[in-house]
Amino acid sequence: MNKRNLIIAGKELSSRFFLGTGRYPNPYVQNEAIRVSETAVLTFAIRRANLESPGEDAILQHLDADHSFTYLPNTSGAKTADEAVRIARLAKASGLSDWIKVEISSNEKTLLPDPIETLKATEILVNEGFIVLPYTSDDPILCKKLEQAGASAVMPGGSPIGTGLGILNPYNLSLIIEEAEVPIIVDAGLGSAMDVTQAMELGADGVLMNTPVAKAKDPVKMASAMKLAIEAGRLSYEAGRIPKKRYATASSGLPSSISY
């Protein structure tokens, strides 16, 4: 995906930064972080939202009313495909969004996504007309199967959610990006601007994060740093880095002889 602006399911997004809305110290800091991030997509757990009155929801009511966001609710907390599908249907029925981030984990210690249930839920929801963005592991084969199932974008994790370990397997991530015909959004495990830049330099189309911003000592400054890292990493990827070599090469050629 080489377009300067990110397009998912025919919708052009003004930013490659997807931002979570949880775990901020207070609503003011949350709103300021969102503002400086210049994100176009906000994600949140459906189980934390008030589906009966989305406009009055504690998560959404503090957002800048002058900014039009694309909402990406997620199925966090689901342990099976059936649970995830049921949660997604509730969100869509509330009028919240027809975009859905499928997030299914049966292991509370690692929170790693369940590959079988994730693929199953993706197939069901795509057939029901959802714009599905599944969160998955960095398995190139699984990511391709999710794409083939109709996912509008695929979201492999760099490392387990909230660990801040960064990208543990850049080789796998590069394979996923190389084979993809839909956008690849790196989701989970990133901790710093360095991690974000690496993801974008590998060719990722965007990055989703929550904890690295919300739990930083200064969430607003970190949101700004992550935004700049995404921009720098993308520009570097588009510019094309020099190949790595074993030995040095002088930037100015050495003359064969020197006369005095």
> What H or E segment, with its residue span, contains residue 186?
strand 185-187
pLDDT at 254: 59
Residue 67 pLDDT more than 80? no
Which tokens sit at 118? Answer: 């994730």
Region 210-239: what's the mean pLDDT? Answer: 95
Q: Highest mean pLDDT range out of 62-71, 89-98, 100-109, 141-150?
A: 141-150
pLDDT at 93 over 60: yes
Compute the average pLDDT of residues 5-11: 92
What percent of the chain stands above pLDDT 70? 87
Lowest mean pLDDT among 44-48, 51-55, 234-238, 255-259: 51-55
> Taking 80 as the threshold, does the pLDDT of residue 150 lie above it?
yes
**CB neighbourhood size of 259 (10 A):** 4
66 has pLDDT over 70? no
Q: Are 2 and 16 in contact (CB under 8 A)?
A: no
* The pLDDT value given to residue 1: 40
Residue scoring higher pLDDT (259 or 15): 15
Is the per-residue pLDDT at 105 higher than 50? Answer: yes
Domain 6-239: give its CATH architecture. Alpha-Beta Barrel (3.20)
Task: Please enumerate in sequence order all residues whose Cβ is within 8 A of that of 29, keeping only pairs 6 or more positions apart, or say none.
Answer: 219, 220
Report pLDDT for 142: 96
Backbone φ, ψ for residue 184 (5° rounding): -110, 120
Of 52, 98, 44, 49, which is closest to residue 76 (Cα–Cα)?
44
Q: What does the block give as tokens for 71? A: 């909402």
**Residue 26, pLDDT score:** 92
Catalytic residue among 101, 120, 145, 227: 101
CB 113 within 8 A of CB 104: yes
Does residue 81 register a pLDDT over 80? Answer: yes
What DSSP element (H or E) covers 137? none
Examine the pLDDT at 256 and tell me if it is beyond 80: no
Mean of pLDDT over the chain: 88
Cα 158 → chain centroid = 10
**Does residue 128 carry a pLDDT above 70?**
yes
Residue 101 annotated in active site: yes
197, 201, 204, 208: CA torsion to nearest 10? 0
* In the chain, domain spans: 6-239
Distances in whole angstroms, Cα of residue 116 to Cα of each of 100, 137, 146, 228: 18, 11, 10, 36
Residue 52 has pLDDT above 60, yes or no: no
Mean pLDDT along residues 182-187: 96
- pLDDT of residue 94 exceeding 60, the answer is yes
Q: Residue 61 pLDDT > 90, yes or no? A: no
What pLDDT does 57 receive? Answer: 47
- Summarize the annotated binding site for 1-deoxy-D-xylulose 5-phosphate as residue ranges: 162, 188-189, 210-211
Instruction: Please say if the pLDDT value at position 90 is more than 60.
Output: yes
* 55 token code pair: 């406009």
Helix (H) or strand (E) holding 2: none
pLDDT at 259: 61
Q: Which residues 6+ apart lie within 8 Å of 157 measured at CB?
A: 112, 113, 135, 136, 137, 138, 186, 187, 188, 189
Binding-site annotation: residue ranges: 162, 188-189, 210-211
